[in-house]
Amino acid sequence: MTTAVLRPRPPMPDTDAAWIRAHVLAPKQIPPAWHECPCQGLSNACDHGRHTECGHDQWVAWWGREPETVIQTFGGSPCAGACGLGRGWATVHLADRSCWTRCTCRCHQPPPEHRTAPRAHRATRPVPGGHMSTRPTIHHLATRPDGTVPPTCNHLAEYARANGEPVPTVNLTHRVGQTIDHPSPGQKWYTDKPFSYFHMYTRPGEVLDRIEDGWPIRLWIVEPLGEVGNWGGVHYPYWRMSHQIRVVEETEAWRAFGHRGKQTLATVAQLPDLAKEWAAVWAADPERTRRTYAPWMKRVEDTHALDWWVFFRAQYSRREAARETAEKLALAAVEPIVADASEEAAAAIRLRARCLVAGQLLFDRIRNGEYEQEVRGYLLGTALDSAQPALA
């Protein structure tokens, strides 16, 4: 019996390693290989000139303090930061102190004092880091299609209805320009009643996360009056609660899906016709279609396009509720068509529908570098033989 001896693999050349860091790791929102604390370096996004893509604000808002100061990891490579790369490496900590994951780029620093003050009609708001943003803060409030405000807690609302108790609400229709007092204010800011406060969002892509009946909705721009609270803390800094609002105007409902809301809803509207085409292709030649879909489905799985890329980019861009709603709408749109298809075809069509709407929703967030564009191509299904909607 002969035993094969495996030769050790030669180390990767420095030029290849540099290419991987520049073209594969660099587009990702991860801190670089620092030899300092996580609070002392530049993020990869800022280091490569993509300042709007930096995760600094998310690190400040979500992770806050690290439990210990990371000094060095195994082999001289420092901690990879909050995204978890190399979480299995051996690390050395100073246990008597804590630190922050931050980006030290100048784009996050307070503006110089000599800058012209923002105009009076533009509201300012504090942002992580202590300085003031000159972007106006817009508060969004979602209502049912009839204009009534949904409850702040669906479980308490269901319990109240089951016991014959009314669930109060207010109707914003015909109330533009008016000030509205909350009909049943609860303790600030507890969810102690079915309808305890007006729940507003400064990021419209998250406004769908607590809608009792789901889509469709109507979307309103409102102004909170009096005391304003937020029990979401650092995890939900875009929440706003108040017991009095002024209704500014009604705005387009597609904005509840963020910047790409219009394209996303247009894709959902096309899905029934697209699903019919996809199902017809599967029915006409299952074997050939299987060979076409198999490598695409494998790449979607191998690159984690739908679970990692879409999930985390939706979180970073504050479109997590929009992502969940868009995927539900996609599945609902194709379900009548796949009901008569084979189990294999139905699974492939459902996956393609979910990927397509996710790719449209986050088209502007998965775009940097060749690898991200490749991942986006898998989401949009560009390698498949069926025609794609020209929405991007």
Report the 3 state secondary structure along the chain. Answer: CCCCCCCCCCCCCHHHHHHHHHHHHCCCCCCCCCCCCCCCCCCHHHHCCCHHHCCHHHHHHHHCEECCEEEEEHHHCCCCCCCCCCCCCCEEEECCCCEECCCCCHHHCCCCCCCCCCCCCCCCEECCCCCEECCCCCEEEEECCCCECCCCCHHHHHHHHHCCCCCCCCECCCCCCCEEECCCCCCCCCCCCCCCCEEEECCHHHCCCCCCCCCCCEEEEEEECCCCECCCHHHCCCEEEECEEEEEEEECHHHHHHHHHHHHHHHHHHHHHHHHHHHHHHHHCHHHHHHHHHHHHHHHHHCCHHHHHHHHHHHHCCCHHHHHHHHHHHHHHHHHHHCCCCHHHHHHHHHHHHHHHHHHHCCCCCCCHHHHHHHHHHHHCCCCCCCCCCCC
Long-range contacts of 325-330 (CB under 8 A, 24+ apart): 325/208, 325/214, 325/215, 325/256, 325/257, 326/257, 326/264, 326/268, 326/357, 326/358, 326/361, 327/354, 327/357, 327/358, 328/214, 328/215, 329/215, 329/268, 329/357, 330/268, 330/271, 330/354, 330/356, 330/357
- Domains in the chain: how many in total? 3
pLDDT bucket at 69, cuts 50 / 70 / 90: very low
Residues 336 and 365 in one domain: yes
Residues 196 and 263 in one domain: no
The residue among 206, 230, 251 that closes a domain is: 251
Residues 305 and 212 in one domain: no
Residue with tokens 């290849």: 16
Residues 268 and 371 in one domain: yes
* Residue 7 is assigned to a structural domain of this protein: no
Residues 239 and 279 in one domain: no
pLDDT bucket at 134, cuts 50 / 70 / 90: low
Query: CA 380, CA 367: separation in Å to the nearest integer?
Result: 12
Cβ atoms within 10 Å of 370's Cβ, excluding its own? 10
Does pLDDT of 170 surpass 70? yes
Residues 197 and 215 in one domain: yes
Least confident stretch, 95-99, 153-157, 259-263 = 95-99
* Residue 58 is assigned to a structural domain of this protein: yes
- For residue 203, the model assigns a pLDDT of 92
Residues 375 and 263 in one domain: yes
Domain holding 373, by residue range, is 258-380
Q: Which candidate, 130, 106, 133, places its Cα nearest to that of 118?
A: 133
Look over the chain and give the mean of its residue pLDDT values, rounded to a whole number: 78
Residues 60 and 150 in one domain: no
- For range 252-262, the mean pLDDT: 94
pLDDT bucket at 334, cuts 50 / 70 / 90: very high
Query: Which tokens belong to 2?
Result: 């002969």
Share of the chain above pLDDT 90, in %: 47
- For range 273-295, the mean pLDDT: 93
* Residue 285 is assigned to a structural domain of this protein: yes
Does pLDDT of 89 surpass 50? no
pLDDT bucket at 192, cuts 50 / 70 / 90: confident
The residue among 203, 232, 251 that closes a domain is: 251
The strand pair at 239-242 and 244-251 is best described as unpaired
CB 160 within 8 A of CB 167: yes
Does pLDDT of 63 surpass 90? no
Residues 375 and 264 in one domain: yes
| CA distances in angstroms from 252 to 261, 266, 272, 307, listed in the order given | 10, 14, 23, 29
Residues 267 and 376 in one domain: yes
* Residue 132 is assigned to a structural domain of this protein: no
pLDDT tens by residue, 6-56: 566 677 787 877 777 666 655 444 444 444 555 666 676 676 666 666 766
pLDDT bucket at 383, cuts 50 / 70 / 90: confident
- For residue 331, the model assigns a pLDDT of 96
* Residue 9 is assigned to a structural domain of this protein: no
The residue among 204, 220, 251 that closes a domain is: 251
* Residue 303 is assigned to a structural domain of this protein: yes
Does pLDDT of 104 surpass 90? no
Give the domain CATH number at 170.
3.20.170
What is the pTM for the complete model shown? 0.65
- For residue 101, the model assigns a pLDDT of 64
Residues 286 and 190 in one domain: no
Residue with tokens 């030899």: 35
- For residue 117, the model assigns a pLDDT of 37
- For residue 32, the model assigns a pLDDT of 40
Least confident stretch, 82-86, 233-237, 271-275, 291-295 = 82-86
* Residue 3 is assigned to a structural domain of this protein: no
* Residue 386 is assigned to a structural domain of this protein: no
Residues 271 and 350 in one domain: yes
